[in-house]
Amino acid sequence: MLYNHVTYPLSENDLKMVVAIPEGGNWKNIPLNVPSKRLEQIRRTGGRTTLYGRLSWNKPSYTITTYFNRPGNGAYIHPKDDRVISAREAARLQSFPDDYIFYGSKTSLCKQIGNAVPPLLAYFIAKQIKKYTNTKNVLDLFCGSGGLSKGFEWAGYKIIVANDNFKSACETYKNNHKNTVLIEGDITKKDIKEKLYESIKNKKIDIIVGGPPCQGFSYAGKRLVDDPRNFLFKEFVEIVRKIKPKVILVENVEGILTSNNGKTFNSVKESFSNLGYKIEGKKMFAVKFGVPQKRKRVVIIGVLRGDPRACYPQEVIINENKYISVKDAIENLPSIKVNGGENTLKKEIKSKSLYQEFIAGKISPKKYETILFKNP
């Protein structure tokens, strides 16, 4: 069955804009007679070409953010239909398989999907870490809806415990990771941390992964962990200190490498170096790992022994003409109307691409990877 294939409502004015934008087009294609204060501002000052963007069938999508429910927030208009992409289409562009069901309100689906690490990118990273280190058990902090966990599971890891404080994401996580103990709640609270440690018990945690927020990348003569706005990052560091896993993985926005002339990243390195970890940070492009999306994120890896640089996987696809496209990802999904209800299908959808075979669970991540490497 196909779940979450639900789109988002558009106002009459938004629909006028959407109808005017051709495949691959943007706000520049919207007629001047369509009234919009925001458009007036964009025209005066200039704006990103992704604003009010319609996706192209034969290219990867731009980054799927938490705002894919609004046409003016990025390139989220369906290549053919006059609507924004559905939650399931966004999930496919993020590389979530079709049997990964998201729970909660329609608005919460945007946050869950947009904030997630693409599972396929996580798989390639996890597979390389597994190859280089003798690791098996994972603790996933700030797990969200479970993109990192899914990728690590595909690579053969066991997710022992996970934690998050977003109720809808926790419901999604629990239903898709039934063998993992999920501790729902604020990790800064003593009772939640105690539950976390109690759930781990005598199980050895080899890797701690997560995306702790570093608010504003503030750096005013103090270390990152000393800025009160970065209290969640501080909690992550403290848990690493207590558990002392062989490997740590921190996922964050690309700006963390260059913020404050590199001082922010140096502070991150210092926080973990003081615990004995060798640290490396690298910008990674999801599209170069078989994901149909131009998503850029920074992955920071730390190891107690060895070289963290060896934990980064080789890029699968280096020729832009070979990138997995929007068409490869969502073409076989049924057309839906802009203000229609959820479209749950009870019959098989025929796959039209290798990627759709993978998303449907007809081929494994390993098989998908093998075919990609054979056809660079």
What was the pLDDT predicted at 222?
Answer: 57
Residue 265 — pLDDT band, cuts 50, 70, 90? confident
pLDDT digits (tens, 9 = 90+) for 42-87: 998 888 889 999 999 999 999 999 999 999 999 999 999 999 999 9
Domains in the chain, ordered, with CATH? Answer: 12-114+320-374 (3.90.120), 119-311 (3.40.50.150)
- Segment among 146-160, 173-187, 256-270 with least mean pLDDT: 256-270
Residues 6+ apart with CB under 8 A from 371: 354, 363
The total of other beta-carbon atoms located within 10 Å of residue 339's CB is 11
Which residues, in sequence order, are bridge partners of residue 251? 299
pLDDT digits (tens, 9 = 90+) for 96-122: 999 999 999 999 999 999 999 999 999
Q: Could you confirm whether 311 is annotated as catalytic?
A: no
Instruction: Spot the catalytic one: 110, 143, 170, 214.
Output: 214
* Residue 342 pLDDT greater than 60, yes or no: no
Q: How far is CA 78 from CA 52, 72, 359, in A?
A: 11, 13, 19
Helix extents (H) in the chain:
12-20, 37-45, 87-93, 106-114, 119-132, 147-154, 167-176, 190-200, 231-243, 263-273, 326-330, 354-359, 365-374
pLDDT digits (tens, 9 = 90+) for 184-231: 999 999 999 999 999 998 899 999 999 887 665 554 455 566 665 566
Put simply, whether the predicted model's pTM sits higher than 0.85 gets the answer yes
Residues 6+ apart with CB under 8 A from 22: 29, 54
What was the pLDDT predicted at 104?
Answer: 96
Average pLDDT, the chain: 91
- Segment among 3-17, 192-206, 250-264, 301-315 with least mean pLDDT: 250-264
- Torsion angle of C-alpha atoms 282, 288, 293, 297, degrees rounded to 10: 0
The distance of Cα 31 from the centroid of its chain, to the nearest Å, equals: 34
